[in-house]
Structure 1
Amino acid sequence: MISRRTFLGASAAAVTFPWWGTNLASAATPDTVQVAFDDQSGAGESYAYITGTTLDNRLVILQSDGTPYYPADPGGEMTPLDRDCAIPLKSMAQVSVPKMSSGRIYFVLDAKLDFFVNPGPALVQPDFLSSGDPNYGRNWSFVEFTFNNDELFANISYVDFVAIPIGLHLSTSGSGDQTVQGLPARSLDGICDELGQQGGAWGELVEAGADGKPLRVVSAQHRADKFAGYLDDYIGQVWDTYATAKLTVDSQNPDIGKLTGQVGADGNLTFDNGESFAKPVTADVWSCDSGPFVIKEGDSDARKAIIPRLAAALNRTTLLDNPNQPTDEDPAKFYQAEATNHYARVVHSKLPDNRGYAFPYDDVTPGPDFSGAVQAGDPDTLTVTVSALR
């Protein structure tokens, strides 16, 4: 099951099969993969931090010289790292990365990040939501990746926020190169301006620094309280429509096939295999992981396939007009409703190749690849381009 959630260890898999799912080499991956840095940020100083969990479940962080460091279990919470793990992009163009899962490559401009370890040991990630976090006022972003015995999977994610523009290029030993361009340089301010012009709570997604300039724009799921009831009318129209009409969801899995559903007298959208869904609220749509969209242990593969497709169609506000999901989806019709995920709309409008996760199930597709992922079983070098923030 190839998806961002599968590889990053989150609670649910999209059970989606994008085009790059067929490009995997059959041989085992090499012991290490090269990660190269193309620093086009224009910053006086720029640093990378590479973190993850080894395949035998140990916390690992690369040190400033590129060598692995395995923090010991600390004596208390919020214990600072006792090694310098800031890789200087001006003098370190490439590092060798061992296998790890749920990995991140952080980038920060004109500063360093503060990392802490809790008992476990467990890494305390920088917090982009709490102004009390020492990293909150710094310009930073990250790339997600997993590198295991089968493949390297890396993606540009805007699921949480947009900040420093980042692009990916993966070269391989034989299966071909892959590129995700990411947002162009100096995109952040334009995105903030457009969301501000949208009105309502959309402008409140912008987080500014002490100088008043935007640090980042967070996704709507992190301001869900500002959007209470926002999609109620649209969701109500969808539920009313499928009380009399049939909805077909293609699982895109040959073992499951297509499923047909209708809203019954109980108010639930129930499919012919028995899977049933209560009407979601706006926060459920934004997160894709609450209310009826929670995937629990023991849920059927069919339910795991239906949830991403319902959540994607509601984020893109296409579910009302397209009863064949995602088969008849037309990207030109995404985000066209007055009340829609304008964060995802604006982000995608800036992406030159339209590729990047703007919500968790942005890899649901009738064919074209909307995800910001590169993936191969024979990886050689992952090059990360860091562009100018402004």
Structure 2
Amino acid sequence: MNNWIRMAARLFALGLALLAMRAMAADYSNGVDVSGNSAVIWFKSNVSTSWVDVHYTVNGGAQQNLRTSYNGSSARYEQKVDVATGNALRYAFTYNNGTPAYDTPWFSVTIGAAPTAAPTAAPTSTPTPKPTTAPTSTPTPTAKPAATPTPVSTGAGCYPAWNSSTAYNGGAQVSYASRNYVAKWWTQGEVPPQSLGDGKPWNDVGACGGSQPTAAPTATPIPTKAPTAVPATPTPTPRPTTAPTAVPTATPTPVTNIPTGNGAMTIQLLNGTKGAFADSQVYWAIIGYDPANGQLVYVNSAGNLVPATVADNDGANHLSKNGQNYSNYFQKLSSTSWVSLPRITSGRMFISLGSPLYIKINTTGDGRTGFAGPDLGNPTDPNQDVYFEWVEFTVDQYGYHGNSTRVDQFGFPILTRLIGNDGYDKTVGETESRAALFAAYQNDVPAEFKTLVKAPYRIVAPAKGAFGPAGSYASYFDNYVNQIWSYYASHELTFTAEAGTFSGHVVGNDFVFNKNGGAYNLYIHGKPTTLAILEGSGNLASGSSDELVVQAQITAAFNRHLIQTVDQANWSNAAYYYLQAPANYYAKFWHDHSINGLSYGFCYDDVRNHSSLLEVGNPKALVVTAGW
């Protein structure tokens, strides 16, 4: 599957990595008005503001992130919240002043307490900056959701003490030196205060003291047409895997010899095949689109964007196979190991071992120049017997945004290390050998997924194998879908994403949702097929931007087997993923065998931040290691 449109959607939703800045107190006033069991959180701007988002918790429950409504009569932005006397309400805002976005401190009030002149800022860490939206030159993107931020500790009591020998899963709570921390993903031996920030496993959630606190109550849900309790379910089917393997981690080596040029950043390729392939047998090419005009281009060894043309198929250095001619934009690692990369949109760095890839340049239906990359669904494709991988990315005025991917296949291990000029340094990918990964896959996954091994060349994604339309497991998810549609015909499904809180139920054959308690006008039209679930396609990829947000969340929840069996408060916690069938055990495998559990095992693995996406605003280099 082409993941470029997914990337464009991510860039749009993430605002192209523009981080919100700290607010100026003179910009606004705010407060909470209480009447009976209803509170109105309000924000009044003194600057050029056209939108305000509020982030709040009630009694330390799940954080809600909502776009406020403007009240013209009071000239302020407002959000209504159901409360009761004694509730502890914490809230903060993100607002715009012209184009930039700003984050306020957190404030806290206790409902029914004696009034004070103004809410006081809670003694907590700075909230995660919220990105703002900026235009791109890529096709019209759709907003993608992100994980609900971790609730902030109120400082009442300390979690259990961190232990260097204990392995912690995502969501684990520990304390260290009178501060509480929550794990983002699997981690062991990484000291919490030394392992904070982007790419690090711990979140600091505030100071603590005294005994371990009791569990915080769940936030009051938005009223629905039926009770929202998670139903009793049969005893889960045991996870059809062996005991879990510790998720790999990476220790970056010091940055000492990264070559540089005049481009936006360096891309460097390393041979990690341990002698299986000489540098002269390692090939790479970068193909993408020129951001200045949208034209298909390739990157030459000098780091220039060169227009691609149909004539390249028969050019002086063209490739031939099975009587067909193909373009040849490939460099050998032995002759060129790095390039100074200019800005490029929807770029792919193809890497192949033993042979270059056979890529045909063509003319699309609208007259533009395009290309046909490897097609694993076509048994006559000339690349069926080529070992290959790719990394996909965009480099623009906002930095580098890219990922390695397992959405289509696994050919050989890939490590991608992104280094920023600001000290950013993060690595994703697989550290095990190719032979070890093939053996582990055969050992770990259930029988249906073993059919995806296409030795000796690759392991294909489910939709590219027996789970495709004509495959033996084309109806793999059907019973689960029927179960969900039947249950939610009389119950309500509610979940919170970055874009808001969504609540829905089945009407006829459609799953219809509202956003933030509004009208039920967001649809999944009809039951999704197994193919739609695996590929995020069909009725799980259509409609308005809010419908696409809902569909992405539901797609991810089907792949991870969360709907109906896992409380929505835990949909961001990887410890609850893939606990029973049917589930995408192909994707699960790559999370189990990737650094920090991050991988693109299916198209919407970025939902709730479990993908291999790397981003930095001021990139220095991307170092790609081809393993074996």
Q: Which amino acid aligns with 1:79?
A: N
How is 1:222-241 mapped onto 2 (pairs within 5 angstroms)? 222-223=464-465, 224-225=468-469, 226=471, 227-241=473-487
Corresponding residue number in structure 2 for 1:72 = 309
Which structure shows the higher helix fraction?
1
**What letter matches 2:410 in structure 1?**
V
SS at match of 2:451: helix
Q: Which amino acid in 2 is paired with 1:251? A: A
Q: SS of 1:320's equivalent?
A: coil
Q: C-alpha displacement at 1:376, in angstroms?
A: 1.4
Cα deviation, residue 313, structure 1: 0.2
Q: Distance in 1 between matches of 2:370 and 2:316?
A: 14
1:345 Cα shift? 1.7
Q: Secondary structure at the match of 2:595?
A: coil
Q: Which amino acid is the alignment partner of residue 60 of structure 1?
A: V
- The residue identity in structure 2 corresponding to 1:16 is P
Match of 2:354 among 110, 114, 117: 110
Q: Is 1:37–1:383's contact at 8 Å kept on the other side of the alignment?
A: yes
1:183-222 aligned within 5 A: 184-186=432-434, 187-190=436-439, 192-194=441-443, 198-200=446-448, 202-208=449-455, 213=456, 215-222=457-464
RMSD over aligned Cα, in angstroms?
2.7
Distance 1:313 1:327, change over 3 A: same
Quote how far apart the aligned CAs of 1:64 are: 4.9
Counterpart of 1:90 in structure 2 is 334
Give the number of the structure whose alpha-carbon radius of gyration is greater. 2
Match of 2:481, SS state, is helix
1:306-321 matches, cutoff 5 A: 306-321=550-565
| Matched residue, 1:53 | 289
Asked if the contact 2:146–2:497 (Cα under 8 Å) also holds between the matched residues in 1, the reply is no
Structure 1 residues 277-301: Cα deviation after superposition (integer angstroms, max 9, x where no partner): 22222111111111x21224xx1x3
Aligned-residue sequence identity (percent) comes to 24
Distance 1:247 1:37, change over 3 A: same
Q: Which residue matches 2:541?
A: 294
Question: Which residue of structure 1 aligns with residue 424 of structure 2?
Answer: 176
Query: Partner of 1:127: helix, strand, or coil?
Result: coil
Map 1:240-389 → 2, pairs under 5 A:
240-253=486-499, 257-264=500-507, 266-272=508-514, 273=519, 274-277=521-524, 278-290=526-538, 292-296=539-543, 299=544, 301-324=545-568, 328-365=571-608, 369-388=609-628
> Match of 1:36?
268
Which residue is equivalent to 2:163?
none
SS in structure 2 at match of 1:95 = strand
CA–CA distance in structure 1, aligned partners of residues 143 and 331 of structure 2: 34
Alignment match, 2:161: none
**Cα distance, 1:188 vs structure 2:** 4.2
- The residue type paired with residue 221 of structure 1 is A
Deviation per residue, 1:169-191 (Å, 9 max, x gap): 11112152222133532254225
State the TM-score, normalized to the length of structure 1.
0.83
Q: Deviations over 1:31-59 (max 9, x none)?
A: 52210112112312211111111111122
| 3-state secondary structure, aligned to 1:353 | helix
Give the residue type in structure 1 aligned to 2:574: P
CA distance change for structure 1 residues 382 and 237 in 2, over 3 Å: closer, same or farther? same
Deviations 1:227-252 (A, max 9, x none): 22211221222222222322112131
Once the two structures are overlaid, the 10-residue window that deviates more, 153-162 or 266-275, is 266-275
* Residue 346 of structure 2 corresponds to residue 99 of structure 1: no
How many residue pairs align between the two structures?
Answer: 358
- Distance in 2, matches of 1:183 and 1:236, equals 39
Give the C-alpha shift of residue 99 in structure 1: 1.4
Change in Cα spacing, 1:199 to 1:261, as seen in structure 2 (3 Å) is same
Aligned amino acid, residue 58 of structure 1: Q
Mapped to 1, the partners of 2:440 and 2:462 lie a distance apart of 14
Alpha-carbon offset, residue 349 of structure 1? 1.8
Q: Report the AA paired with residue 104 of structure 1.
A: R
Supply the AA of the counterpart residue of 1:248: T
In the aligned structure 2, how far is the partner of 1:16 from the partner of 1:80? Answer: 44
- Does the alignment pair 1:16 with 2:145? yes
Query: Secondary structure of 2:597's partner?
Result: coil
**What does the per-residue CA deviation read over 1:201-224, in whole Å, with 9 as the maximum and x for residues that have no partner?**
x2332223xxxx2x1111112231
Higher RCO (Cα < 8 Å, 6 or more apart): 1
In 2, distance between residues paired with 1:71 and 1:328? 44
Q: State the 1:149 CA deviation.
A: 2.1
Q: Does the Cα contact within 8 Å between 1:61 and 1:70 map onto a contact in 2?
A: yes
